[in-house]
Amino acid sequence: MGRTVTIGEVFVETHTKSDGTYVDRKAEMIAQTYEQNVRDRLLQLKAEASAVSDGTSRPRELTNEEYTTIFLEVKCCSLNLLTLSLWLFCH
């Protein structure tokens, strides 16, 4: 991949079947909420960048820590310890 994988990407990868469907409705809701929250944050960064620039600069990228925070906000209390341990082990 050439970059660090985010915990949200690990979650989606480990909670989808080979046909692309989620293993259950809860996993689907978590993934969809996470992806929407990431989109919302990226739109916020874009708006902030355009408000303070001449239109030629690009908004900054989200850091891995920000992706993790967004994911944990969605999944905070019911985060599967095994998935978290695997993610932490890989980083």
What pTM was computed for the model?
0.74
- Per residue in 23-33, pLDDT tens? 998 899 899 99
Place of tokens 């993610």: 87
Top-confidence residue, 22 or 78: 22
Distance CA(39)–CA(80), nearest Å, equals 24
The percentage of the chain sitting over the pLDDT mark of 70, rounded to a whole number, equals 77
Distance CA(60)–CA(78), nearest Å, equals 30
- Residues 71, 9: contact at Cβ < 8 Å? no
| Closest by CA position to 75, among listed 16, 25, 22, 11 | 11
33 Cβ neighbours under 8 A, 6+ residues apart = 74
Instruction: Tell me what pLDDT residue 76 has.
Output: 66
